[in-house]
Structure 1
Amino acid sequence: MYEREKLNRALLINGDSFRRMKEMPEASVDLILCDPPYNLSEYSTGNMKFEWRAEINNDVAKWDLLPFHPSRLVDDFKRILKPTGNIFIFTSYNLIGKYHEVFDPVFDTFQFMVWHKKNPVPNIRKSSFLNSCELIVCLWNKGHTWNFSAQNEMHNFIETPICMGKERIKEPKHPAQKPLAVLEHIIRIASNEGDIVFDPFMGVGSTGHAALNLSRKFIGMEIDPVYYQATVKRFEQLSQACHNTSDVEDGTKNTISYAQNIDSISF
């Protein structure tokens, strides 16, 4: 058996997702929500250091230098997704065409969302646009789960700040950590309570955190042991905080909901 940590409604796996996904049963996942490498490092102008602010990281990370091919995801994603399932994949301008090339022939619908970051990294050189938007590939077949709310809430556009403050994992710092607000918005639309959300590029566990907040189950895979251990620690701290808290403020209701439901569900 693979190395794993089982935290009630969350199954966290430390390993290569391209290999581990092949162990998953067919039609076992309700929503795939993930953030694979963007391969933007090859366009980097180098990191910039300043005395008056934090370093601007243009090089992203070493793992972003490894060539990433969306075609490697198609067969496994198609196999493990339930007929009613959805797929949402964060990406960037340089890979969106490659995703369309390999996924559009396989699914009934290929669409995209735009996440607009209200506080992007400033353009110090003032030589181009600020990099304030990221793209999200959206895939599904007829009969997919879809929780349509109001017309003005269902645009393929969402605007939030970048992940910061207490929500940001400080050590290790993941350069691509996504805010819970964006992830929860997608999860609400594309899944139901009790559904299984799967992230094969888990990072520091933000997708899982969002899924548990909304009473979903979560399966996450992460090849980097440092990020993996950060996720395990994050989930254990959430669970401990929930079980140790009796009087809570409104802002912790999602966390308390996680604790109330956690003992009744297992994989």
Structure 2
Amino acid sequence: MFKLINDDCFNLMKTIPDNCIDLILTDPPYNIAQYSTGNIFLPKRKPINNDIANWDKNSINPHNLVYDFKRILKPTGNIFIFTGYNKLGQWHEAFDKEFDTFQIFIWHKTNPPPKIYKNGFLNSCELIVCLWNKGHTWNFSTQKEMHNFFECPICSYPERLKSPYHPTQKPIKLLKHLISIASNPKDLIFDPFMGVGSTGIASLELNRRFAGCEINKTYFKACFDRLNSVYH
């Protein structure tokens, strides 16, 4: 079962009842487009996208999410938030004092974009903020599998959508790993910045319920079509 809303999540969350969400798993804009020096154009291949997208220029203030995230989350719930290095301090400042645990999970991309000018490290890691209180849902498997580190490729075809193209679409394999650990079957997963719906796909395939919000109409339609193909 899923419920999708085409709206600004800051408006939507005001209407969500208290203590009803089992897991918030989301990927807000990183606001890294401000550091871009422009796309890198290469012969015989698509440009490397350094500009991300216009929506990435909209800065999300983590402090504005604290109240509603805490209010709608169940006492046993968890929160996972993808973020960039430039905003990590803001997430820590806003949320560290609000939860018993503030941890960082690393996604290591095994096929990151190449470093064309060979003047620094490849951007092969992304950060995920992890938040929970004592008594939270947690499906611990083995010591070997429970590192705060996960390796998998970035999205490629056919998983990656060609139209509409979403520059930060996350792989289903990674999302399933997080959802399996931090929730149980029939739990309700919420993504307030759902993009083209990868969190929803992962949730439904793991027998979870999903609620998502997306302000962009084109992405919203793509998300609805994807989820409808999984759950009629």
TM bucket, shorter chain? over 0.9
Instruction: Give the secondary structure class of the aligned counterpart of 1:22.
Output: helix
Normalized against structure 2, the TM-score is what? 0.98
* The one of 137, 146, 153 aligned to 1:154: 146
Name stretches of at least 5 consecutive residues in structure 1 with no aligned partner.
1-8, 241-267
Q: Between 182-191 and 230-239, report the one with greater CA deviation.
A: 230-239
Distance 2:228 2:191 in 1: 18
- After TM superposition, list the pairs within 5 Å mapping 1:70-149 onto structure 2: 70-149=62-141
Distance 2:96 2:10 in 1: 21
Q: State whether structure 2 residue 3 is matched by structure 1 residue 11.
A: yes
* The one of 23, 46, 51 aligned to 1:54: 46
Q: State whether structure 2 residue 21 is matched by structure 1 residue 34.
A: no
Structure 2: which amino acid aligns with 1:96? L
* The one of 223, 228, 233 aligned to 2:225: 233
Distance 1:29 1:179 in 2: 23
Q: State whether structure 2 residue 167 is matched by structure 1 residue 168.
A: no
Distance 1:237 1:128 in 2: 42
- After TM superposition, list the pairs within 5 Å mapping 1:179-218 onto structure 2: 179-218=171-210
Distance 1:141 1:27 in 2: 14
Name stretches of at least 5 consecutive residues in structure 2 with no aligned partner.
none
User: 1:124-153 CA deviation, whole Å, 9 max, x = no partner?
Assistant: 111111110000000000000000000000
How far is the alpha carbon of 1:54 from its aligned partner? 1.6
Instruction: Give 4+ residue runs of structure 1 displaced > 3 Å after superposition.
Output: none
User: 1:47-69 CA deviation, whole Å, 9 max, x = no partner?
Assistant: 11223222110010001111221
Q: How many residues align?
A: 232
Q: Percent identity?
A: 60
Q: Indicate the structure with greater helix content.
A: 1
Distance 2:118 2:71 in 1: 46
- After TM superposition, list the pairs within 5 Å mapping 1:219-258 onto structure 2: 219-239=211-231
User: 1:213-238 CA deviation, whole Å, 9 max, x = no partner?
Assistant: 10000000000000000111112233
Distance 2:188 2:81 in 1: 16
Distance 2:194 2:25 in 1: 9
Structure 1: which amino acid aligns with 2:30? Y
Structure 1: which amino acid aligns with 2:94? V
Distance 1:220 1:193 in 2: 18
Larger Rg: 1
Instruction: Give the secondary structure class of the aligned counterpart of 1:197.
Output: strand
CA RMSD of aligned residues (A): 0.8
